[in-house]
């Protein structure tokens, strides 16, 4: 059995490939079902964000299971495993200890587009919870994801890696504000999407100097109204998006629609009515909400996730010094995780050994029951206690030695010897 992670992130792949591989929230049950249909996978978790799509799995047969995961990615990308495309080369693979390290570093914020970002910690937690809810994650991945969340919290509590701008939503707003000298006074800003990213952008906007006018557009009217109220803005229906864009200075999008909401023709029509008034578009959605060709419309500046990442990198020098401290925490927590995993690996042998000894103890007491019947209650209790203490003392040292050697070749030899000697 092996734990493996297969996937790619924004550093390894162009945005159009990330778009094809992204798994929307509504598609998670189907994706998890497809993975767990494989006879070579016993557990699976899909972590899909705007910056990465990764499959974590427990493989019963390593190479066959890995082939099934690769086939899953090819199906999403619309390519063939037998083809000559570059997908296979772009996918990164790590297994066992390296897979655990990768997830822990992601959750701790040291392997993120924005160092220390809080969004990824929530996304890791959500991925694990959804997989457990769909019965795709079991004790192995469930334990790994819970441990990763603990590490992520500890890293943000004990270091300053989360200080300052640490989310893509805040990066988007900071980038807009920097271009305006730090103020958005008098601007009309349209935020499309009331999910986590949209909420983060709207909240960040409301805290920027100038108190810009905010319009929240979302398929969910209730969520849009709730968000708009919290940022002193107003709402608009998705059908009115083109009208709202025609009167906007800034458009921020972050939906999970999976389809283009504004094409180049829509944007050109909006700009025709205000030829001397520029429009800044920040598309933080994967797949994209705005047709990339819209960036060629005169007066339009279109930024995507690649631009956000470049801007974020330029602003996180102050937190780079915290990475070494975070990695020290990662090493410490990985050692604790290994000890837990190794302890679980010998637990069945220890349990079987104790069960076998208890069965023998009860069998011997039953054989002596006629003779023990002559004893009074106090003496019977003493015999019972004596037999329990004797079994516990006999099993104590073998149990300690087995647990100490867990996860090593010696541990495997000891476990096998106990199985054979005691017919476990």
Residue 109 has pLDDT above 90, yes or no: no
pLDDT in tens, 332-387: 888 888 777 766 666 777 788 888 888 898 888 888 888 888 888 888 888 888 88
Residue 33 has pLDDT above 90, yes or no: yes
> Facing residues of 281 across strands?
251, 302
Q: Which of 18, 36, 50, 286 is catalytic?
A: 50
Task: Tell me the average pLDDT across 19-34.
Answer: 93
| CA–CA separation, 54 and 60 (whole Å) | 19
First to last CA, the chain: 21
The pLDDT, as a whole number, for residue 344 is 61
Using pLDDT thresholds of 50, 70 and 90, give the confidence band for residue 327.
confident
Task: Tell me the average pLDDT across 89-117.
Answer: 86
pLDDT in tens, 216-252: 999 888 999 999 999 999 999 988 999 999 999 999 9
Please give the share of the chain, as a percent, with pLDDT higher than 90. Answer: 39
pLDDT in tens, 267-279: 999 999 888 899 9
Q: Which one has a higher pLDDT value, 164 or 200?
A: 200
286: left (phi over 0), alpha (psi -120 to 50) or beta: beta
- The SS3 assignment for 188 reads strand
pLDDT in tens, 291-317: 999 999 999 999 998 888 888 777 666
Are 56 and 4 contacting, i.e. CB atoms less than 8 angstroms apart? Answer: yes
pLDDT in tens, 51-97: 899 999 999 899 999 999 999 999 998 887 766 567 878 899 999 88
| CA–CA separation, 266 and 272 (whole Å) | 10
| CA–CA separation, 54 and 318 (whole Å) | 29
Residue 408 has pLDDT above 70, yes or no: no
Are 246 and 188 contacting, i.e. CB atoms less than 8 angstroms apart? Answer: no
Torsion sign over Cα 124, 129, 134, 139: positive
92: left (phi over 0), alpha (psi -120 to 50) or beta: beta
Torsion sign over Cα 137, 143, 166, 10: negative
3-state helix, strand, coil in the chain (%, to 5): 60, 15, 30
What domains, with CATH codes, occur in the chain?
A: 2-163 (3.30.460.30), 168-318 (3.40.50.720), 347-421 (no CATH)
Q: Nearest CA to 200 among 257, 256, 252, 134? A: 252
Task: State the average pLDDT for the chain.
Answer: 86
36 catalytic residue (yes or no): no
Task: Tell me the average pLDDT across 129-149.
Answer: 93
The pLDDT, as a whole number, for residue 105 is 92
The pLDDT, as a whole number, for residue 414 is 79
Using pLDDT thresholds of 50, 70 and 90, give the confidence band for residue 319.
low
Q: Return the residue matching tokens 């004797």.
A: 390
């Amino acid at each position: 059995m092996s734990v493996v992670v297969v996937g790619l992130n924004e550093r390894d792949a162009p945005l159009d490939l990330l778009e094809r591989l992204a798994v929307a929230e509504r598609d998670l049950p189907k994706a998890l079902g497809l993975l767990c249909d494989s006879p070579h996978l016993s557990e699976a978790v899909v972590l899909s964000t705007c910056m990465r799509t990764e499959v974590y799995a427990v493989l019963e047969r390593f190479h066959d299971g890995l082939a099934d995961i690769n086939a899953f990615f090819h199906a999403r990308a619309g390519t063939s495993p037998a083809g000559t495309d570059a997908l296979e080369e772009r996918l990164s693979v790590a297994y066992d200890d390296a897979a655990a390290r990768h997830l822990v570093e992601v959750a701790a914020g040291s392997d993120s587009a924005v160092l220390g970002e809080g969004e990824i910690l929530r996304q890791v937690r959500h991925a694990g919870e959804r997989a457990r809810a769909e019965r795709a994650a079991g004790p192995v991945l469930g334990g790994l994801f819970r441990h990763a969340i603990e590490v992520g919290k500890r890293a943000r509590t004990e270091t300053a890696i989360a200080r300052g701008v640490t989310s893509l939503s805040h990066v988007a707003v900071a980038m807009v504000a920097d271009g305006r000298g730090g103020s958005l006074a008098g601007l009309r800003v349209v935020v499309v999407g009331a999910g986590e990213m949209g909420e983060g952008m709207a909240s960040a906007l409301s805290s920027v100097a100038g108190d810009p006018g905010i319009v929240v557009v979302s398929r969910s009217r209730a969520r849009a109204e709730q968000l708009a109220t919290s940022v002193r803005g107003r709402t608009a229906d998705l059908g009115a998006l083109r009208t709202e864009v025609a009167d906007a200075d800034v458009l921020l999008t972050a939906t999970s629609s999976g389809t283009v909401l504004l094409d180049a023709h829509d944007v050109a029509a909006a700009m025709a009515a205000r030829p001397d008034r520029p429009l800044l578009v920040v598309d933080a959605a994967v797949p994209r909400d705005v047709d990339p060709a819209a960036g060629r419309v005169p007066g339009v500046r279109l930024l995507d996730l690649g631009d956000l990442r470049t801007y974020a990198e330029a602003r996180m020098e102050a937190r780079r010094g915290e990475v070494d401290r975070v990695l020290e925490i990662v090493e410490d927590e990985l050692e604790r995780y290994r000890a837990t995993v190794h302890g679980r690996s010998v637990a069945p042998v220890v349990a079987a050994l104790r069960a076998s000894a208890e069965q023998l103890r009860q069998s011997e007491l039953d054989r002596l029951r006629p003779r023990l019947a002559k004893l009074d209650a106090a003496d019977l209790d003493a015999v019972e206690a004596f037999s329990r203490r004797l079994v516990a003392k006999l099993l104590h040292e073998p149990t300690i030695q087995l647990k100490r050697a867990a996860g090593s070749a010696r541990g495997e030899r000891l476990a096998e010897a106990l199985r054979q000697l005691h017919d476990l």
